[in-house]
Every structure is written in C-alpha cells, then in structure tokens.
Structure 1
Amino acid sequence: MTISVGFLSAAFLLVLQETIFVASAFDPSPLQDFCVAVDEPKSAVFVNGKFCKNPKFVRAEDFLFRGLNIAGNTMNKQGSNVTLVNVDRLPGLNTLGISLARIDYAPNGLNPPHTHPRATEILVVVEGTLLVGFVTSNPNKLFTKVLNKGDVFVFPVGLIHFQFNVGHYPALAFAGLSSQNPGVITIANAVFGSDPPISIDVLTKAFQVDNNVIHALMKQFKA
C-alpha cells in the first residue's frame, strides 16, 4: 500500500494541532529552577502572567506561606470558607503549576457547585464527613461519594463539583490543584449575580421558570 507524502503531512499537522491544543490547557512547564512572581517590572522578565524577581534577590520567604493551621470563618450563607494559596499569595508558585486550598465547613456547610477552569482538584478529608460529587459534560452524569477522615477524591479539570458537610460537627479538608492560578466559577453566582446581569429573557427560557423566580434568585446573588 502506498501512502502519499501529502497524506502523511496532513496527518502530522492534525496530530500536532491536537497536541498543541491539549498542552495549552495546562500551565506551561518552567524553563528555570524558579520564577518568583513580583509586581515590579524593573529588571524582571514577564513569564506566565507574572514578572520574575531577579534570582539574586530571591529569599526563602518567597516560597513560604503561613496560616493554614487557622480555621476559616464559616459564618456565612454557605457555611464554608476556602483559604486558597495560589501564586498571588505564594509568589514562589509561579510557573510551578500547582496550588493548595484549605476548606472549612460548618455543620451542613456547603462548598457550592463550582468549576476550576484551569485545574484538576484532589481533595483529602482531614476531619468530618463530606458528601462530594462532580457532574460530567453532556450527558450530565453525577459521580458522588460520602467521604470520611483520610479519604481522597479527585475532581477532573473544568467539571462542576461540590462538597457538603453531612456530619454534625465542623469538617476540614485540604485540596491540591494542578495550576498556580486555578480560577473558580461558582455556578449560581455566575448565572444570577453577573455584572452586568444576564438578560431575564435568557434565564427564564434557560431554566423554564417564571420571571419572579429569576428576580428572586438575582436578589440573593446580587454583588
């Protein structure tokens, strides 16, 4: 069987395009030992959304964050608190493609349905009992599990997921994320609390409910 050079070239370009597309979905690999993020552009190099501090002036403190032993304030509507340690709070994370979060939950506390557009999340329960889950892209299948102390669960990148404290006592979990700046889109806030707001006509048709329901939801999530 003879395969033309043109066919091979086209196939190679197709594979190359797919590879580039997949690679672009994640933080780029570092090309140096570190690139400590700095807000001052003087004598700095711009890498991955941040300026790099001159290596001569880098200190151990640039790779240190203190305070994850302190419980977050869960006195809010959701009964949860996320303490995120990303590149904005730990400059040494820049270009390393990783971040960390502490999540505190009051009894019946919820980390509401949300997505991380740039990161997979792996969660470990330190205290308490959590109902967790994520929903796949179409068809929307739910994967859910009840986690206890020491259990680990992973939420694939970009998928809607949640955690709910089903225990009678406060719960605590830590999460690792595969991006220095994973981002977060809380579904209800994004849909009903955007600025400027999404058209009422769009939302009533999307959710198949009366205008009054949409108005009531918008009041709850208004910034």
Structure 2
Amino acid sequence: MYTMVNAILLLVPLLSLLPFSSRALTQDFCVADLASSDTPGGYPCKPQTAVTADDFYYRGLATTGPSIAPFKVSLSSAFVTRFPGVNGLGISAARADMAPGGVVPLHWHPVATELLFVLDGTMVCGFISATSNKVFTKTLYKGDLMVLPQGQPHFQYNVGNATAVALSSYSSPNPGLQILDFALFANNLPSEVVSKVTVLDKLEVRKLKALFGGTDDMCTDVE
C-alpha cells in the first residue's frame, strides 16, 4: 500500500504536465464552433451531427498568403479561426514566403512554441532569450528545422537570391501573435510617449508611425 500511494503521489504532478485538453479525454474531437466566443480552453464544440470532413481539411497553406508591408513577406495561417478542426488538439500551422531581402519581423507567440521547417531557399532564423537577452541564430537551408521556444521574440530574414519559404507548426491551435513594430508604431500612443519609452528620436517615431499607420490620438498627460 505504501508503494502504491507513493506512486500515485508521483504520477499526479506528472500528468499535469501532459499536453492534453479536458475535451480530448471525453470525446474524439471538438471542432470549433466559430460562431461562439473563444475561451481559455478553446472554442465550444460544434454539434457532432453538424461536423463534416471539411472541418478537418484546409488548403490555405497551398498558396502564398497576403503580403505584409513593408517587410516583403507573405503570411498565411492555419490557426483555429481558419481551420476549426484543430480546436482542442494543441496544434496549428502557418506559411511564410519571403522575397529576396524579405523579413519576418521580430514577433512572439504568447502561448505556443514554434517548429519552423524550411521548404525552399536560405534564411537566417533566431530568437532572443527573455531572461538573458542572449541571441540564438542559425542560417537555415532547405530541409532544416529550428525550434523557437514559447513567448521568446524571434525573427527570420531571407539571405538568398530567390524566394524563401518556411512552414511552421505550433503547440497551440491559437498561438497568438504580436509583432514588435506594429505594437510600437501602429497604435495611438502619442509620439512623445513612444519616444520616452523607447529612447528613439521623436521625429523618427513620427516617421515610423506614418509608415505603420499609427496616430497621436490618445489623450494622456505628458510631462
């Protein structure tokens, strides 16, 4: 009895580390009901009588996605909001097409680790440690993989003469995305405040706000 009790006490915390959702324990799948609101546990399940094979099929990564200016990169995603079949399964995917000189700017995924696979071309990929600010970079070629830990700021850029293409998988159906340039310069925080918190010249901040669509509309007390 003593041995069994100790084994159970050891097993319970280990089980808490396993990447499954409560829904996965009680049913085969939980196709997202996108008409409902997302929750910390994912979208509510679509009625199983309404589920079809199309819910588990997605062709959105077969072609180049929308271009993101001014970075010369096109992105397409297979997150739960586009691919409801991944709801509750802890996975999703995306594709990046970088023209020569193209960049996937510094960004992070708050709730997912990324595994990047190079389909074509040559690119530099790296991330910055959130605790030490150490940078880990590697030049990647066709067939190479690189893992980008959850929540760490990371980037890619094309160093070849042809378009570079990467396919990424994520450990969440909805990994989240925040791009540093848009967070800083696509908002309505006054340029003077952005200048204060970034130590950038105010004129440069205004130039970047114009580039990324930010404004100076926010009412705030600036001293």
TM-score > 0.5, shorter chain as reference: yes
Residue in structure 1 matched with residue 30 of structure 2 by the alignment: 35
In structure 1, the residue matched to 2:197 is 206
Q: Judging changes above 3 Å, is the alpha-carbon distance between structure 1 residues 75 and 189 closer, same or farther for their aligned structure 2 residues?
A: closer
What is the alpha-carbon distance in structure 2 between the residues aligned to residue 189 and residue 39 of structure 1? 26
What residue in structure 2 maps to residue 98 of structure 1? 91
Q: Provide closer, same or farther for how the CA distance between residues 40 and 159 of structure 1 changes in structure 2, counting only shifts above 3 A.
A: closer
Amino acid at match of 1:36: V
- The verdict on how the C-alpha distance between 1:209 and 1:77 changes in structure 2, with shifts beyond 3 A counting, is closer
After superposition, the Cα gap between the structure-2 partners of 1:40 and 1:170, relative to the gap in structure 1 and judged at 3 Å, is closer
Structure 2 portions without partners, runs of 5+: 1-8, 215-223
Query: What secondary structure, in the 3-state scheme, does the structure 2 residue paired with 1:202 have?
Result: helix
Matched, 1:132 2:132: no
- The AA in structure 2 aligned to 1:60 is A
- Closer, same or farther in 2 for the Cα pair 1:64/1:191, shift >3 Å? same
Which of 58, 76, 94 is matched with 1:83 structurally? 76
Structure 1 residue 82: deviation in Å? 1.2
How far residue 69 of structure 1 moved from its aligned partner, in angstroms, is 2.1
Counterpart for residue 4 of structure 1:
none
Hey, what does 2:62 align to over in structure 1?
69
Task: Give identity over the alignment, percent.
Answer: 40
Aligned to 1:6: none
- What are the residue-to-residue correspondences of 1:155-166 with 2, within 5 Å? 155-166=148-159
* Structure 2 residue aligned with 1:3: none
TM-score normalised by L of structure 2: 0.80
Check 1:47–1:157 CA distance in 2 against 1; reply closer, same or farther (3 A cut). closer
Is the contact made by 2:68 and 2:75 (CA closer than 8 Å) also made in structure 1?
Answer: no
**d(CA) in 2 for partners of 1:61, 1:129:** 34
2:134 is equivalent to residue 141 of structure 1:
yes
Unaligned runs of 5+ in 1: 1-11
Counterpart contact for 2:97–2:165, Cα < 8 Å: yes
Q: State how far apart, in whole Å, the 1-side matches of 2:83 and 2:68 are.
A: 26
Amino acid at match of 1:198: L
